[in-house]
Every structure is written in structure tokens, then in C-alpha cells.
Amino acid sequence: MKKIYFLIVLLLLTGFNAFAEGLGNITVSTTGFRNNKGQALVALFRSEQGFPSNMNHAFIAKTAAIKNGKATVVFTDVPTGEYAVSAIHDEDKDMHFDTNWIFFPAEGWGTSNNTQGFFGPGDYHDSRFILDPADATVNIIIHY
């Protein structure tokens, strides 16, 4: 009987801990794809490490079908905090951001806050936003 009480208390404490941290959903709507070929690769980053193109450092990465030049991804139950989003038109479905021989983007790209760098996507600092316990919507325009 003591084990059951212990488990109930443990579950309650764990639940309250998750509630105290806060969770939200992030809906990412991307527009401006030049065609419906391939897929949208959308990644959520919690730091500048790997942003915007190294999916190995993404907190979460998802793919979505492109329809009529648009794609939408929803990240659910995301802990509150600071994030940045990158989106890639992964035309060849290789799960990588392709560049040409002089490292200019060879596939479409976009970042949260629609930031742009000198020859491609903006950096994490300019692309970041805060997710509070309320849900967030991020609109990204794909550039080529």
C-alpha cells in the first residue's frame, strides 16, 4: 500500500513540475515555395548552435508536404523559452540544406522573424522569439 501512495505522490509531483515549467505549441506556416517538389524541412532550435541548417543540433525537426506553395508544421507540447525556427525547401528530400560550390544556398530557405543574412538566412539572435505558456504562430517566407 505504501508503494501505491508513493507512486501517486510521485506522479502528482511530476505532473505539477511539468505544469510549472509550462508547455505550448508552435505553429509554423511557410509560404513562397517555388514548386511542390520535395518537402518542407522545419527545425526548432533552442540555441545558436547549428542554426539554421544543421538539423543534428535542432531541438525538434519535422517535415511537411508542400501544397500550393505552402506548408505547415505544428510543434506540440514544447517547453516555454527562447527559440528560433528555420525552414528549408528540401527539393531532393536529402534532409540537408544544400549549397552551391561557393556556399550560396541552392535550396529555398527562411527563418523566424523572416531575417536575412548577407548571402542567406539570418542568424539565431535575429531570428529568436519567446514561447510563453500561450501558443505561438510563426510565419516564414521562403527565399531563393
Q: What is the pLDDT of residue 9?
A: 41
As a whole number of angstroms, the distance between CA 27 and CA 91 comes to 22
Q: What is the pLDDT of residue 12?
A: 46
As a whole number of angstroms, the distance between CA 134 and CA 84 comes to 16
Q: What is the pLDDT of residue 106?
A: 84
What backbone phi and psi angles, to 5 degrees, belong to 30?
A: -115, 140
Q: What is the pLDDT of residue 105?
A: 77
Q: 142, 144, 1, 138: which is closest to 75 by C-alpha?
A: 138
Average pLDDT over residues 22-49: 97
For residues 42 and 122, which has the higher predicted lDDT (pLDDT)? 42
Domains defined along the chain, listed by start: 23-141 (2.60.40)
Q: State yes or no: pLDDT of 33 exceeds 50.
A: yes
pLDDT bin (cut points 50, 70, 90) of residue 17 is very low
Note the pLDDT tens digit of each residue in 117-143. 877 788 999 999 999 988 999 999 999
Decide if 140 contacts 112 (C-beta within 8 A): yes
pTM of the complete model = 0.81
Note the pLDDT tens digit of each residue in 47-106. 999 999 999 999 999 999 999 999 999 999 999 999 999 999 999 999 888 878 887 878
pLDDT bin (cut points 50, 70, 90) of residue 3 is very low
